[in-house]
Structure 1
Amino acid sequence: MIRKAVIPAAGFGTRFLPLTKAQPKEMLPIVDTPTIQMVVEEAVESGITDILMVIGKSKRAIEEHFDRNFELEQELAEKGKTALLDQIKHVSGMAEIHFIWQKELNGLGDAVSYARSHIGNEPFALLLGDTILESYSGVPVTKQLMNISEKHQGSVVALEEVPPEKVNRYGIMDGTAIDARVYRVNDFIEKPEPTDAPSNLAFAGRYIFMPDIFDFLMQTGRGKHNEIQLTDAMRQMAQSRPMFGARIEGKRHDIGNKLDFIKTNIYYALKHPELKEPLSEYIKELVGNRFQ
């Protein structure tokens, strides 16, 4: 049974500068909810309420968001705004969230290694703090991976099909199919050219790891950008013990760049009960004016 999750959220978010000079990228809102809150909610819906966040400089807003604000709660209570009061109490109470600081930004693999003492000798979930995964099946993607890990007794990486011409943007899995959605991993290739890609199955920002991933991270030297790369440790791990890939029953929403961030906001706004109709009308108006 997986009880703990790790969410790395230490990067600078340079693609969103100057906005992210003092504002964490993970706190950028999807309509009215910070991205990282949606990630935490996925973990909680999967049955995980013990969460470690690995944060860095200028990330204090993340800590404050998940802490209680008694003054605000009192203000809302006095004004009778019970719905808003319930919402902010939910944010601070839905999980036991711990924080650790990544002292230097030495890559995702290095950030994950900071979780070793908290995780101990247990399997755990890893959820990237800037990626939202929407489930199509009603089962959260992290829970989908947990079920597969329990069945096959190994680490699991979430995979999403991407257009073949875009494989050079992602880490890609080389694997052998076990069933319709699950693969035994042979190797991982970072951003291959389309002609060299073994598949079009890309990392989707969710993982279940056995605790020995920490041993492989300790053995991993600096790779691309002179950083400790999680993919390099995963490649070593896959050569010596079973590792699996699972095509998710869902859709990945990446906020790693401005265009995808805007697309994600529009997507969720069109599902929002208060916004979908007026926003739909506004989009139709914009499109109509453009082609007049």
Structure 2
Amino acid sequence: MLPVIDRPLIQYAVDEAIEAGCDTLVFITNRYKHAVADYFDKAYELEQKLERAGKHEQLELVRHVLPKGVRAVFVTQPEAKGLGHAVLCARPVIGDEPFAVLLPDDLIWNRGPGALSQMADVAQQGGSSVIAVQDVPREKTASYGIVATDDFDERQGRIRAMVEKPKPEVAPSTLAVVGRYVLNPRIFELLEATPPGAGGEIQLTDAISSLLAEETVNAYRFRGTRFDCGTHLGLIEATIRYALDHEKLSEAAAGMMQSALDELGVRENE
């Protein structure tokens, strides 16, 4: 629910999913966190208050959190047992259909089609599962899941193996997995059969590794810039990028940033 400019992170993820053609959004939350469900609920009193105050721009934002034809389903994850377990919690809603997984902390900015829309096109063309990847410095591979690929053509390639947080000297590539997945429903059965790992968590990457033995899973280097908003610096970077790209704020934001940099330079020279 952390905001970037005028919307919480979850709204950016929702907008990206809807742009990619998703009409059912499944939110996996724990039993203590109701803020996400409250945000997407109808807020009649707030709408009336904004309308009486003549705040029409804010009113439109509140009214169009979800467009018509898109439904939100909230599923409680009883215990924090890892990303794989969270995905498995969505199975009763999704059933036997391909689906996408978005981690809202990974905010991806692009002036063209969103990352998930790009991936959905690739998945539709090949009928395969698709995992988003980005290049990272080799010295940082130990912070990511890294993929080994065959015939990578600068944009995509078949995944041969996934290695979780390899040391730089043994990493098979510098293509790191980020929080976007388009998956075939077979992954649910594999998650059911995946034993818990460290901390009792069921890892999505373990099930995907099993999926690799059965069918094609492609890595896709998306067009856009990913910000890790789970970190302070990533959230700051995202706020700056979106401010500079904002129709009404860009000029003022650029001026404020330049003034701050100029002031910092004067202080360093004193």
TM-score by length of 1: 0.86
List gaps (5 residues or longer) in structure 2.
none
- 1:72 and 1:57 map into 2 onto residues whose CA distance is 25
- Identify the residue that residue 170 of structure 2 maps to in structure 1: 196
- Structure 2: distance between partners of 1:66 and 1:177: 42
CA distance in structure 1 between the aligned counterparts of 2:152 and 2:126, rounded to whole angstroms: 11
Partner of 1:172: 146
Q: Which residue of the partner structure matches residue 95 of structure 2?
A: 120
Displacement of 1:280 in angstroms is 2.0
1:92 Cα deviation from its structure 2 partner: 4.1
Structure 1 segments of 4 or more deviating over 6 A?
Answer: none
Alignment of 1:13-92 (within 5 A): 27-92=1-66
1:278 to partner: Cα distance? 4.2
In 2, the alpha carbon distance for the partners of 1:243 and 1:40 equals: 24
- Residue 90 (structure 1) shift: 0.9
Q: Given the superposition, is the C-alpha separation of residues 187 and 194 from structure 1 closer, same or farther in structure 2, using an over 3 Å criterion?
A: same
Question: Partner amino acid for 1:161?
Answer: D
Contact 1:46–1:143, Cα closer than 8 Å, also in 2: yes
Q: CA deviation at 1:162?
A: 0.8
Moved more, 234-243 or 269-278: 269-278
The farther-off stretch of 273-282 and 176-185 is 273-282
Cα distance in 2 between the residues matched to 1:50 and 1:106: 24
Change (3 A) 1:83 1:212: same
Q: Does 1:279 align with 2:253?
A: no
Q: 2:156 aligns with which of 169, 173, 182?
A: 182
Deviations 1:65-110 (A, max 9, x none): 1111111111111122111111110114463111000000000000
Paired with 1:130 and 1:82, the residues of 2 have a C-alpha distance of 29
Residue of structure 2 equivalent to 1:22: none
- SS of residue in 2 equivalent to 1:111: helix
Shift of 1:135: 2.4
Question: For residues 282 and 209 of structure 1, what CA distance do their matches in structure 2 show?
Answer: 46
Residue identity opposite 1:101 in structure 2: T
Deviation at 1:289, TM superposition (A): 3.8
Per-residue CA distance 1:45-78 (angstroms, 9 max, x = gap): 1121210000014321111111111111111111
One-letter amino acid of the structure 2 residue matched with residue 73 of structure 1? E
Give the one of 184, 193, 199 matched to 1:225: 199
How many equivalent residue pairs? Answer: 265
State whether residues 173 and 185 of structure 1, in contact with CA within 8 Å, keep that contact through their aligned partners in structure 2: yes
State the match for 1:291 in structure 2: 268
| 3-state SS of 1:185 partner | strand
Is the Cα contact below 8 Å between 2:19 and 2:114 reproduced in 1? yes
Q: What are the superposed Cα offsets for residues 98-152 of structure 1, whole Å, 9 maximum, x if unpaired?
A: 100000000000000011111111101111121111225x111111111111111
> 2:12–2:104: 8 Å Cα contact kept in structure 1?
no
Q: Point out where structure 1 has 5 or more consecutive residues left out of the alignment.
A: 1-26
Q: Which amino acid aligns with 1:49?
A: D
- Superposition RMSD on alpha carbons, in Å? 1.6
Asked if 1:237 corresponds to 2:211, the answer is: yes
Residue 73 of structure 2: which of 79, 98, 101 is its match?
98
Deviation of the 1:270 alpha carbon: 2.8
Aligned to 1:251: 225
